[in-house]
Structure 1
Amino acid sequence: MKKNIRKGFILLAACGMLQSCTKDFVAINTNPNAISAAAPQSLIAPALLNVLNTNLSRNMRINNELMQVTVTVNDALEIQRYEIRPSEAESTWSGWYVQLTNIRDIYQKAAEGQQKGYQTYQGISLILDAWVSSLITDMYGDVPYTDSNKGYSDNNLTPVFDKQADIYADIFRKLEEANTLLKGRVAVESTNLAMDPIFNSDPAKWQKFGNSLYLRLLLRIAHKSETNAVAKIKEILETNTAEYPVMQSNAETAALYYTNVQPYMNPYFNSRDIDFNGSKGYSEFFINNLLDLSDPRLKIWATEATLGVYGGMQSGYKRGNVPEQQSTLLTSLKADSHMGNIMNYAELQFIIAECSLRGYAQVDASGAYLKGVNAAMEYWGLTAPTTYLASEKVQLLATDSDHAKLKKIHLQKYYAMLFTDFQQWYEYRRTQLLDLYKGPGLLNQGKMPVRLNYPTIVQSLNKVNYQDAVSRMGGDGINEKMWWQPSIN
């Protein structure tokens, strides 16, 4: 019995990773009593929830270990030593691609329908598509995109891998289309508002999130002069702000605030305490910087190592030299509503501050940075103390070089993006502006990985297109730089 269940699971996983199953398989496994054509609004919440649950799970396991948020006491787990097993690539690939089918179905079903507000659902779909597609390509590089998720519709189980530069160009096209669709402010049926757990189907808030996401991705490739990303940043932030509104406060943050009432449960809500924090602790980098800044978030994120004292573990320790566990994740985080973040207002303000310092737009860098610091505190229900804001370690000082200012921005951004999929890692790969500690047990020649390998099932079932992508990228290891990866790594 167990063998049969396992075989079924493997088959389902294979179908998901190839973006769909065969038509016969779908027909056999279709509930004849179910509605065959889901309304577009009914797909929004399940897709969001599933993507966010995948993101948080992989954030805790991979991002947090690489980015020295946490350190495992499992001596055999090598991620904190910069060695990543090929099997780690499977979960995000399948989790993201399966939901991308639902997200694209929202657009298609809305385009086919005639009901009030369906134009808004198309805009929402395009933004979610851009978000998830950016997660995929920023994780792996060249990936199936144009031909992906067509297993059922076109019987295409071997999609071509698009070049990352082309994927980014089309993501921007989708965000432009979303902006056009949503600026019409077409309201959806009042009975359908709550089917969107992020913005309650408000087209204005979705438009602002879409343009804020646009800025995140434009900044990521701004060093690629052929993209004209800098000109677009300037247009959004300076010359055409009315056409491209962005988030204006934490009230417009893109997050699914877990209510811990089904279905919007923090995925760790029912986990045992020992499973949540028993095998890991916060790193020295994470704790030491919070202590150095006298940051009030320390007390809502971390336990005391000993009475009244916080401490972190050494990241990248040598095998066989497991350090003593120090401060770890507070178990109250299992029920916390704030761990479903997609993109918060604080991140946007740090993006604006960086764009100003790099000369991409004439905006107030210090003002945006200060808004970001305050918003990051407010997101977690705190108010930044006056002494904190006045600290020379926090302020952007007139005597600071632009590089020193960028380092301050990115340290604050690091904490603002806590538990947010892989954004800490993606941003570090772009800038290396965090002074991460170098542990004595680092593998991979001490080099931070810049991608995950392609899943093994893709290698075997889509071999020709896989090999074509690998030949373009120069290999399928964790060190093969992707198109936007700067030469600083």
Structure 2
Amino acid sequence: MKTNRDKIFFSFFILMAVAALVSCTKKYVDINTNPNASTAASPQSLLAPTLMNLVSGNLGRNVRINNEFMQVTVTTADSREFHRYEVKPSESDAQWRLWYLQLTNIRDIYRNAEKTQQAGYKTFQGISLILDAWVGSLLTDMYGDVPYSESNLGYEEQNLTPVFDSQKSIYELIFNKLEAADTLLKLNAAVPSEFEYADPIFKCSPDLWRRFGNSLYLRLLMRVAHKTDIDARERIYKIVEEQAANYPLMTDNSGSAILKFTGVTPFQSPFATTRDFDFNGDKGYSEFFINNLVTLKDPRLPVWATEASLGVYGGMQSGYVQGNIPDRQSTLQLALKTEPLLGNIMNYAEVQFLLAEAALKGYISKPYRPYYQNGVKASVELWGKTIDTATYFKTPLASIDSAATDTDKLKRIHLQKYFAMMFTDFQQWYEYRRTGALDLYIGPGLQNGSKMPSRMVYPTLVQTLNRANYDKAVAAMGGNGINQKVWWQQ
């Protein structure tokens, strides 16, 4: 028999388009919670499963949706539609369900840490706020206006019909949470060593989490820096120059926020048990992806891709006409099935490219070239390779010398950022929607007026069970189609 608490949770997640409440969280809580202590899940028992569920879920949808939109891969399944910019409404459900379910765990980490006076729990609060901001950004960048300030209050306040916040207000709330996280983590409250197992990314290091939080802050500030109705540019200058000592960022690859799959249960890649044939069964790399790496003579190419024939790499046409499936050529290296780096949330190279763009656009006074070159080197080295900087940056596609226009410089920064964000949730798509700074190929079979979708539609159950607030959100957004532009795209 369900308790009242169970019923309220169940009702809330039905509202948020959740099909079931049972998840991997239960097994972690069962294992790590003292049966003689409070029944509230401890922060250390929630953190690892929350991170694993988020990273694994994001990775699965990255391969299915982001990589097809962004011409990393192309499906050979003729009925699959993303590379042609066709999106079924049902595709919205999985990420909404995942993100809101895990947002409950994230906020429980904060609440339960706040109630506990043990040493180090301020650090768990700071970690929770960073994860809250991260998931909140994923939600609003995917759908636009979404429940955030009133979300995940089904049990605490019996609020089963949360309002949809505007994207601008969500970003403001996120920025406040990241500022609060920095303040908490600045305390450098050490988590007891026996709890380090709880954090598969940074082993509960306040310093490393603080650097990740501020780097995420920079990512999101850059996403809205072109908007004049928010003070993003001023905040960027403060973080990078005016008060840089108070906002430490990632300083090298070792500080990258990567949940590195160890292969030991439960920290396994979602592809670890996939059959070799199935891993590449219905997809190959695209022409855009392969051609750019070949032109760059990039050493990451053989790490990621197989040869189409002896010594030759090739890609498939993205956006091909239905019924005219091209031959598959280079495919994903099977070693990627268990590659630890596929658990990337945000890496040091991305931070360098953010700083390069900020410098190029004049948001900060520092030169852009060192940031750009540091970013390229860091990304290549992260994948276990090196580049000869004397030759690599003389390649026209990699050069951002004074002869290049600012538009060309921006495109080259974002091409390298595109490769640095391989397998990183939906960041390639989000950044392309923001900048358009990639010369993606135009396939002959593109639908949707050949326009890259701007968002995913709201899940059907949300439309049904929170109708009044849904209607207000749709009116504010100007519709609920895939071409409605979110606030930062307008």
Partners of 1:409 and 1:484 lie apart in 2 by 20
Within 5 A, what are the aligned runs for 1:88-487?
88-386=91-389, 387-486=391-490
User: CA-to-partner distance for each residue in 1:385-436, whole Å, 9 max, x for gaps?
Assistant: 3432443331321111111111110000000000000000000000001000
Q: CA deviation at 1:485?
A: 0.6
Partners of 2:16 and 2:326 lie apart in 1 by 42
Q: CA deviation at 1:19?
A: 5.4
2:214, 2:247 within 8 Å by CA — same for their partners in 1? yes
Structure 2 residue 15 is the aligned partner of structure 1 residue 18: yes
1:218, 1:230 within 8 Å by CA — same for their partners in 2? yes
Partners of 1:214 and 1:75 lie apart in 2 by 40
Partners of 2:341 and 2:328 lie apart in 1 by 25
- Shift in CA distance, 33/296, structure 1 to aligned 2, threshold 3 Å: closer
Secondary structure of 2:236 counterpart? helix
1:20, 1:151 within 8 Å by CA — same for their partners in 2? no
Within 5 A, what are the aligned runs for 1:42-121?
42-121=45-124
Counterpart amino acid of residue 368 in structure 1: Y
Partners of 2:231 and 2:14 lie apart in 1 by 33
Partners of 2:293 and 2:377 lie apart in 1 by 15
Partners of 1:484 and 1:159 lie apart in 2 by 23
User: CA-to-partner distance for each residue in 1:265-293, whole Å, 9 max, x for gaps?
Assistant: 01100011222111000000000000010
Partners of 1:349 and 1:379 lie apart in 2 by 14
Partners of 1:136 and 1:383 lie apart in 2 by 36
Q: TM-score, normalised by structure 1?
A: 0.93
1:19, 1:148 within 8 Å by CA — same for their partners in 2? no
1:346, 1:372 within 8 Å by CA — same for their partners in 2? yes
1:285, 1:437 within 8 Å by CA — same for their partners in 2? yes
Partners of 2:67 and 2:193 lie apart in 1 by 40
Counterpart amino acid of residue 409 in structure 2: K
User: CA-to-partner distance for each residue in 1:7-26, whole Å, 9 max, x for gaps?
Assistant: xxxx99975353599xxx9x
Secondary structure of 2:244 counterpart? coil
Q: Please list every run of 5 or more consecutive structure 1 residues that lacks an aligned counterpart in the other structure.
A: 1-10
Secondary structure of 2:424 counterpart? coil
Partners of 1:241 and 1:320 lie apart in 2 by 55
Q: CA deviation at 1:138?
A: 0.2
Bigger shift: residues 388-397 or 224-233: 388-397
2:61, 2:425 within 8 Å by CA — same for their partners in 1? yes
Task: Give the paired residue count.
Answer: 470
Q: Percent identity?
A: 57
Determine the structure 2 residue equivalent to 1:4.
none
Partners of 2:10 and 2:411 lie apart in 1 by 41
1:103, 1:128 within 8 Å by CA — same for their partners in 2? yes
Q: How big is the alpha-carbon RMSD for the aligned residues of Structure 1 and Structure 2?
A: 2.0
- Shift in CA distance, 12/445, structure 1 to aligned 2, threshold 3 Å: farther
Q: CA deviation at 1:364?
A: 2.1
Q: Which runs of 4+ in 1 moved over 4 A?
A: 11-15, 29-35
Q: CA deviation at 1:33?
A: 10
Q: CA deviation at 1:141?
A: 0.3
Counterpart amino acid of residue 475 in structure 2: S
2:11, 2:160 within 8 Å by CA — same for their partners in 1? no
Bigger shift: residues 31-40 or 279-288: 31-40
Q: TM-score, normalised by structure 2?
A: 0.93
Q: CA deviation at 1:369?
A: 0.6
Counterpart amino acid of residue 402 in structure 2: A
Secondary structure of 1:304 counterpart? coil
